[in-house]
A and B are shown apart, each in its own frame.
Chain A
Amino acid sequence: MGVNEFSYILNKEQMLSNFSFNDFFSEYNLKTIDNKDLFLAALLSFKKLNTTQIHKLSFLTFAEEKIIIPFEFIKMPHGPFSKDMGELLKDFSKRGLITMNEETHRDWKENIWELSDSGQMLVSTNKLKIDKIKKELEKIIEAYGVNAAALERYCYNNYLLKSANEKPQDYEARIKTNIDNLQIILTNRIRDLENIEDIDEPCRVAILACFDYIDNLLKVLFSNVGIDQVIRGVLIKKAENYINVWGEIIRLANDNGEKAKIKDLLRDSKELFNFINLSSKSYGVFESVF
C-alpha cells in the first residue's frame, strides 16, 4: 500500500505543509481562444488597426496574458509576426468582412484594417463570445496601449529579440548569458527548496521535478537548434517568471508570510508551468509533462 500520512510534527508554525499536493502541482486550465475569426473580429471591433498593431496585440495576448490562441508567431523584421494571422487577414478581405486602406505617411505607408458592415454583423451575431474575447483584449490594450512603435519596442525589449543593428553573435551571447544566470538562480532555488523543512515530501519532490523540467528546457534553449527567436524569448521570460515566483514563495514560507498570498503564488506558478509546457510542445521546442 502507499503512504497515508506525510505530515511532520513541528514546533514552529507550518506554512507550506498547509497546502495540498494539488496546490503545488496539477494541470492548470489555461484560458483558450480557439476561434480565429472571432479573435480577429473582436480585435478589430475596438478600432481600426494597422498590420503591426494586429500582430503585436495578438502576440501579447499569448505571451503576456498566457492565453492559448490559434496563431503561431515567428520573428520578422518588425518583431513577432503570425503567418496564420496574415492568412486570416487575406481571408477576411476576400470574404468582405474587413476593408483595407493604405495610408501614406511622409516616408512610409501602412495598411489600416477596419471591419466592414459584414464584419460588424459577424460581431453582433456572436456578441456574447466576442465580448468575452474583448474582455481579455482590453487588459492588453490597457496595459500596453495600441501605439505600433511602442508595442514593437516592448516586444523587442521584453522578449529578448535581436534588433536589426545587433550582430548575431552578440544576440547569441546575450541570450546565453541570460540563460546562464537563470540556471544559477534555479540552482539556488533547488537548494532553498531542499532546505525547507516545512513541506510534505511528495510536494517537494514534485516541485523539484518541475525545476528539473525548467532546467532541461533552458539547456535546449541555450543550444538553440532551429528555435525561432520569438518562442525562445517567450520561454526564457516565462522560465524567469516561474523561477521568480518560486523565489517569492520560498521567501514567504520562510518568513511565515500570508497564507492567501502563498496560495495565489502557487496558482501563478502552476499557470506559468502549464503555459511553458504547452508552448514548448506546440512550438516543437521541448516535450510536455501533461
Chain B
Amino acid sequence: MKKESLILMDTNICIYRTLAYVQPKIYRDELDKVTNKINSLSNNNFQCKFVISDLVVSELRDDKILFWEISNFCIARLHIRNRYESLRIFNEAKKSMEKFISKYGIENSLYEKIKEYHLNLDNINQFYLKFPAKLQNLTKLKISNMNPRQKQVKINQRPNNLPEESDRKLLGQAIEIKKIHHSDVYIFSNDGDFTEFIKEIPTEFNVHILNVDDIVPSYATP
C-alpha cells in the first residue's frame, strides 16, 4: 500500500468502527479488524487519510438507515436473541457517531472538486453489467436471510442486480478523487458489491478496494 493513500470509508465500515466502541464491548473480529486498520494505516508509516463521503454521512445521520444496518448486523452477525438489544446498540452507536463524522467527514474543499462524480455513473453501470452472473449471486446472497417483504425492497433497489445507487455513487466519487489525489485511492468496504470486484475495479477505474480481512503490509511503498 502506498504512503498517503486516501481511503473512502463505506457505511458498513463506519458502523463497525462505531460499534467497536459500544459498551458493553461487542466481541466481533471484524470490528477489531476495522479499528486496527484505521489505526495502523493512519500512523506515521502509512500516513493514509481516511475520509467519510457526504453520501455516507447522510446515511449515517439517517436514523432509519443506521438502525436498519445495525439491526441487520445484530441479527446476522451477533445472533442476538433479544431483539430489543438492537435498539440499545443503535442508541449507543448514534451517540458516538457524530464524533466520528466530525473527525473524518469530507472537507468542503475536496467535495467541491469532485462534485461532478455522477458523470461516472454510466461507465460504472456498464462496468458492472459485464458481470451478470456475479451480480445475480450477490443479490441472491444479500436477500438470502430476508423475509419476502424485505427481499422485494432489496430487489427494487438493485435494478438488473446492479449495486445500490449509493454504492455506485461512492465509486463515482472515488474515481473523481483519483483524478486529483497524488497517491492511491481506496474504498474501504465489507460489501460484496466492492469486495467481489477487488481485481476488476482497480483495473477499470484505478481505484483500489480495501477489505476488512486484507492484511496490512508492514511498510508503506513510496
A residues with a Cβ closer than 8 A to B are 1-6, 8, 20-22, 25-27, 197, 200-203, 205-206, 208-210, 212-213, 216, 287-290
Interchain CB contact under 8 A, B82 and A201: no
Nearest B residue to A205, CB-CB: B71
Whether A206 touches B157, Cβ cut-off 8 Å, given contacts A1-B59, A20-B64, is: no
Whether A203 touches B82, Cβ cut-off 8 Å, given contacts A1-B11, A1-B59, A6-B153, is: no
Interchain CB contact under 8 A, B67 and A1: no
With the chains together, A199 CA to B185 CA distance in Å?
Answer: 40
Whether A1 touches B84, Cβ cut-off 8 Å, given contacts A206-B67, A289-B91, is: no
Nearest A residue to B150, CB-CB: A201
Which residue of A8, A26, A197, A210 is within 8 Å of B63 (Cβ)? Answer: A26
Interchain CB contact under 8 A, B157 and A5: yes
Whether A203 touches B64, Cβ cut-off 8 Å, given contacts A1-B164, A5-B156, is: yes
Interchain CB contact under 8 A, B87 and A210: yes
Whether A3 touches B65, Cβ cut-off 8 Å, given contacts A27-B91, A201-B150, A287-B88, is: yes
Whether A212 touches B83, Cβ cut-off 8 Å, given contacts A21-B64, A201-B150, is: yes
Cβ of A20: which chain B residues have Cβ within 8 Å of it? 64
Interchain CB contact under 8 A, B82 and A21: no
Q: What number of A-B contacts does a CB cutoff of 8 Å give?
A: 95
Interface: B25 (CB within 8 A): no
Cβ of B66: which chain A residues have Cβ within 8 Å of it? 2
Q: Which of B12, B65, B87 has the most CB of A within 10 A?
A: B87
Cβ of B170: which chain A residues have Cβ within 8 Å of it? 1
With the chains together, A267 CA to B111 CA distance in Å?
Answer: 38
Which residue of B11, B87, B156 is within 8 Å of A213 (Cβ)? Answer: B87
Whether A1 touches B153, Cβ cut-off 8 Å, given contacts A209-B84, A209-B87, A212-B84, is: no
With the chains together, A3 CA to B164 CA distance in Å?
Answer: 8
Interchain CB contact under 8 A, A197 and B149: yes
Cβ of B153: which chain A residues have Cβ within 8 Å of it? 3, 5-6, 8, 201
Interchain CB contact under 8 A, A216 and B84: yes
Cβ of B67: which chain A residues have Cβ within 8 Å of it? 21, 25, 202, 205-206
Cβ of B30: which chain A residues have Cβ within 8 Å of it? none
Cβ of B150: which chain A residues have Cβ within 8 Å of it? 201
Known: A2-B11, A289-B84. 14 other contacts (CB 8 A): A1-B164, A3-B68, A4-B59, A4-B157, A5-B156, A5-B157, A20-B64, A200-B64, A201-B149, A205-B71, A206-B67, A209-B87, A210-B87, A287-B88
Nearest B residue to A208, CB-CB: B83
Q: How many residues belonging to B are interface residues under a CB distance threshold of 8 Å?
A: 35
Main secondary structure of the interface of A (DSSP, over half): loop
Q: Interface readout for B136-176 with A: 1 if CB under 8 Å, 0 if not?
A: 00000000000001101110110000001111001000000
Within the complex, the shortest CB–CB distance from A165 to chain B, in Å, comes to: 38
Interface: B54 (CB within 8 A): no
Within the complex, the shortest CB–CB distance from B33 to chain A, in Å, comes to: 19
Interchain CB contact under 8 A, A2 and B69: yes
Interface: B86 (CB within 8 A): yes
Interchain CB contact under 8 A, B87 and A1: no
Interchain CB contact under 8 A, B65 and A289: no
Interchain CB contact under 8 A, B87 and A25: yes
Nearest B residue to A4, CB-CB: B166
Whether A1 touches B71, Cβ cut-off 8 Å, given contacts A203-B64, A209-B83, A209-B84, is: no
Cβ of A203: which chain B residues have Cβ within 8 Å of it? 64
Interchain CB contact under 8 A, A4 and B65: yes
Interchain CB contact under 8 A, A1 and B166: yes
Within the complex, the shortest CB–CB distance from A186 to chain B, in Å, comes to: 13
Interface: B34 (CB within 8 A): no
Within the complex, the shortest CB–CB distance from B196 to chain A, in Å, comes to: 15
Contact residues of B between 61 and 89, Cβ < 8 Å to A: 62-69, 71, 82-84, 86-88
Cβ of A2: which chain B residues have Cβ within 8 Å of it? 11-12, 59, 62, 65-66, 68-69, 166
Nearest B residue to A24, CB-CB: B64
Cβ of A27: which chain B residues have Cβ within 8 Å of it? 91
Q: What are 24 A-B contacts defined by CB distance under 8 Å?
A: A1-B11, A1-B166, A2-B12, A2-B65, A2-B66, A2-B68, A3-B69, A4-B165, A5-B156, A5-B157, A6-B68, A20-B64, A21-B62, A21-B63, A25-B67, A201-B150, A202-B67, A205-B71, A205-B83, A208-B83, A209-B71, A212-B82, A213-B87, A289-B91
